[in-house]
């Protein structure tokens, strides 16, 4: 089972930027699609972005397209999320996740991911 550890969260003013990173260990990182989700209390976990095992096949939710950038480094077993032009509604706990099946097409569905980090808090003030 892979272990995922997020870092880089914090507090920022609206319009600011943050960089999140997720370090993976366990199963061979380069075989699996990776994704970032976020969640606020009382709401379902929300898909943000996914990147295919090779670094291609990138997907974004429309709410973050053009503002967030996902990338991965298979040599370092990390997946990053660059957040720009942040808005107060981006405030949430951000999670990285590893897709259950190796290779294939990145999914937007949380149930397709079987390894999750503990999350990192992002707070955007107005």
If we measure between CA atoms, which residue out of 51, 44, 124, 114 comes closest to residue 89? 124
d(CA 94, CA 6): 8
Which tens digit of pLDDT belongs to each residue from 59-114? 999 999 999 999 999 999 999 999 999 999 999 999 999 999 999 999 999 999 99
Are 27 and 2 contacting, i.e. CB atoms less than 8 angstroms apart? yes
Cβ neighbour number for residue 113 with a 10 Å cutoff: 24
pLDDT band at 2 (very low <50, low <70, confident <90, very high): low
User: Tokens 């260990």 belong to which residue?
Assistant: 25
Query: Which helix (DSSP H) or strand (DSSP E) does residue 13 occupy?
Result: strand 10-13
């Amino acid at each position: 089972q892979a272990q995922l550890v997020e870092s880089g969260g914090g507090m920022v003013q609206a319009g600011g930027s943050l960089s999140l990173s997720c370090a993976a260990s366990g199963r061979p990182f380069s075989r699996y699609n990776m994704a970032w989700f976020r969640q606020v209390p009382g709401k379902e976990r929300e898909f943000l972005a996914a990147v295919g095992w090779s670094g291609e096949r990138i997907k974004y939710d429309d709410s973050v397209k053009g503002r967030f950038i996902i990338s991965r480094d298979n040599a370092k077993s990390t997946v990053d999320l660059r957040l720009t032009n942040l808005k107060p509604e981006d405030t949430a706990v951000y999670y990285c996740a590893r897709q259950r099946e190796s290779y294939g097409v990145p999914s937007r569905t949380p149930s397709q991911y079987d390894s999750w980090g503990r999350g990192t808090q992002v707070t955007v003030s107005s």
